[in-house]
Amino acid sequence: MQPVLGCVWAVLIYKSSLLAPSAISHFPPLLPNATDLSHISLFRFLIAPETLRIRCSLFTRHHVVSQEHQGYDKQTKNAIGQLSDMGNSGIFGYINYLVEKDRKTILDTLVNGLARLEYRGYDSAGLAIDGDKRNEVYAFKEVGKVAKLKQLIEDEKPDLTKVFDAHAGIAHTRWATHGPPSRVNCHPHRSDPKWEFAVVHNGIITNYKELRALLEAKGFRFETETDTEAIAKLAKYIFDEHPNIDFTTLVKAVIKELQGAFGLLLKSIHFPTEIVAARKGSPLVIGVRTQRKMKVDFVDVEFGDAGPLPAEAASQNVALKKANNLLAPPDKSLLHRSQSRAFFSEDGAPQPIEFFLSSDPSAIVEHTKKVLYLEDDDIAHIHDGQLNIHRLSKDSGASNVRAIQTIEIELQEIMKGRYDHFMQKEIFEQPESIVNAMRGRLNLEDKTITLGGLKQYISTIRRCRRIIFIACGTSYHSCMAVRGVFEELTEIPISVELASDFLDRQAPVFRDDTCVFVSQSGETADSLMALRHCLERGALTVGIVNVVGSSISMMTHCGVHINAGPEIGVASTKAYTSQFVCMVMFALSLSEDRASKQARREAIMEGLGKISEQFKEILQQDQDIKNLCLKFKNQKSLLLLGRGAQHATALEGALKIKEISYLHCEAVMSGELKHGVLALVDESLPIVMILTRDSLFAKSLNAYQQVIARKGRPIVICSKDDAEFPGDKTDKIEVPQTIDVLQGLLNVIPLQLMAYWLAVAEGLNVDFPRNLAKSVTVE
């Protein structure tokens, strides 16, 4: 199959389950002070099916012009504030210089690099390489797994035998933030149909709407819903205005206009075999592989002189305030330049070399152990076998070099960072993941909750007859945990259903019901079938999911994205706490119109604001919990007792212990202890009791006394410094005290750690327990 000029879009099926944008419900901004992302929708009405087919191939061919490189521009630092690295998407780039590689090897390197990033979670993948002629770029994009991208490349049948002695390719796995998963929204993004500039990008550009408006006023037409496309088009606009500009100066001019957190790679037909990488709040690492030893083990950093350059003297944001003279190139007489000494041979000539760029070292270590980590505000220019590091300004105390380090670590280890298992890593990520769940939604100053994905439907939900939560496994437990706060704040009847049982009973559902579907993956088979059951009966449906673009997110009328990030360990940890937080915010939003509930609502919001720090406090007891778990060695069964909302916590803790340690664990409502379970209690039965102080504490304490009276020796999860449980007489795990409806968030952390250490003690595969899958997509 011969490649075709431009982008001819492959078959894309767009069902009329999607309404016009004005009728679509939306996800809220992911970051504080971010521009409104309300035009992004993944939760939509479902209406009568029709199909629109658009042809697509995403195999492209374009033109190239060479240029000089080197230059400098100064940037006034803009604070990133609380912008966080999204961390879900993956970047990979490969450059060979004076090392002959055929196209098959180049494509395999890029595709394998993306495969190494799959664990991060993603919904689509793409790459861009040079074409057969000087003025060509081939781009491949596909929704779904990297394997589907590889198959697309094979189907297009490019000439795999063509050899390049110098080449630059970029690739990306995308986790949707701006725009749903689709081929057109997949990276790389292009500046124009000729692909004069191509970019892959991690993070969020918070001022992309302003940039887009400026560029549209200049005649640029945008193809996608993403923030990334503005980067490529801005690069082309600056190049068109200043055709003699060099690549580094051009990228600096672009970077100057971007607000937010980003890591990006930029490739251009005007600067063949070159790549410029930039980092601000999103990690980038460069691997180096040479045939001969490098002269030095560092790269000099090139700084601009102090003081504003002419291009920015009038304004710190020239692009927006002086659109007719967008970022004139700087006066090169002001520049300080140095050479990249590490990459020259002893005779001073460039040597054969390969560069590997990635957002994660896990994609590089199979190629080389020599790596260089970019720092925030670094701009790396790779060209002619050299690597130059630039900075827009020199901060006090900033290093003049970037060390080339040798890493000796296995792939699995580097992906887990300093942790032994993904589950352990995800447990310790929870102080950050719950902040991400609340970011841009909880305003502690104004005591308000903004859930953009529910905004259009809140008034309808308030008028519903009942709210039915439908979920499986851990998601079911998170629904159980928040049932009480929904009933208290909304005074709407609440029921919580296991999706499989709900289907088995063919439970009655009515048009004035609201059905809430909670799922980490958004692909759980039982939940999807229950969703169809509810849609057929005309109920309003809400999705609470972690994976953007998942089936539940697409089929429900509206919903909330929990922003937990990809979860690799099969046993869910951070998704549980993020679901908990998002559903509490849902209840707070529903009760906003109830004057009698305002004091209670504000107290809950204050509690949410403190949860992250309280998580950190509990995680400091990790080793103490590990030691307590020694009491359960060689045991065959364990009881977990909780009352009220803490029964849901006990259910979740018991599930974690069963999932990964294979130890039978039963969660029991404390009030049911005397109705049969008490017969099991003796001095040898391992028992864990949740006894934090709340309105039911006296009743829970009664169950504790019954256990003690029968020579039981329970481990107690209690409030900090509770005199009821003296340390010399009680094995206990202390947790901070918070408002009652949030206490389950804190109490579940010790149980997650307990499950983890029980499994580790048995030498089990913590991340991938037997017989279980991360996403249960079969009945």
Q: What share of the chain is helix, strand, coil (3-state, %, to 5)?
A: 35, 25, 40
| Domain co-membership, 353 together with 364 | yes
Residue 304 is given by DSSP the state B
532 and 409 together in one domain: no
Interatomic CA distance for residues 149 and 142, integer angstroms: 5
697 lies in some domain: yes
Tell me, yes or no, whether 38 lies in a domain.
no
Q: Is residue 215 part of a domain?
A: yes
| Residue 411 pLDDT | 58
For residue 48, the model assigns a pLDDT of 28
The domain spanning residue 136 has which CATH number?
3.60.20.10
The CA distance from 106 to 101, in Å, is 7
Is residue 686 domain-shared with residue 559, that is, in the same domain?
no
Q: Which residue has the tokens 């509770």?
A: 722
The pTM (predicted TM-score) of the whole model is 0.58
How many helices (H) does the chain have, and how many strands (E)?
Answer: 20, 30
Which of the listed residues 620, 652, 683 is the one where a domain comes to its end?
A: 620
Q: Could you tell me if residue 457 is inside a domain?
A: yes
608 and 686 both lie in a single domain = no
pLDDT at residue 352, as a whole number: 93
| Res 261: pLDDT | 76
DSSP letters, 35-103, are PP-TT--SB----S--EEEEEEB-----------------------TT------SEEEEEEEEEEEEEH
Domain limit, last residue, from 559, 592, 620 = 620
First to last CA, the chain: 41
The owner of tokens 């801005």 is: 234
Q: What is the CATH number of the domain that holds 752?
A: 3.40.50.10490
Cα–Cα dist 513/495, whole Å: 11
* Same domain for 368 and 317: yes
Tell me, what's the pLDDT at 69? 30
- Contact indicator for 549, 43 with CB cutoff of 8 Å: no
Asked if the structure places residue 35 within a domain, the reply is no
Tell which residue, 495, 492, 542, has the closest CA to residue 515.
542
Domain extent, residue 297, equals 58-415
Are 403 and 484 in the same domain? no
**184: helix, coil or strand?**
coil
Same domain, 105 and 186: yes
**Same domain as 486, residue 379:** no
* Segments of the chain scoring below 70 in pLDDT: 1-88, 119-121, 177-178, 304-348, 396-398, 408-415, 549, 772-779
Structural domain contains residue 315 = yes
pLDDT of residue 493: 97
Q: Are residues 471 and 486 in the same domain?
A: yes
Please give the Cα distance from 399 to 403 (Å, whole number).
10
**Selection from 132, 133, 204, 150 nearest residue 141 by Cα:** 150
Give yes or no: residues 602 and 745 share one domain: no
pLDDT at 302: 86
Name the burial class of residue 79, with classes exposed (0-12), middle (13-18) and buried (19+) by CB atoms within 10 angstroms of its CB.
Answer: exposed
Tell me how many domains the chain contains.
3
The reported pLDDT for the residue numbered 681 is 87
pLDDT of residue 37: 27
> Using CA atoms, how far apart are residues 212 and 231, in angstroms rounded to an integer?
9
Classify residue 6: in a domain, yes or no.
Answer: no
For residue 1, being part of any structural domain is answered with no
337 and 459 inside one domain: no
315 and 172, same structural domain?
yes
Query: What DSSP letter does each residue of 114-161 carry, written as one string?
Result: HHHTGGG--SEEEEEEE-SSTT-EEEEEEES-HHHHHHHHHHH---TT
Which of 574, 590, 620 represents a domain boundary (last residue)?
A: 620
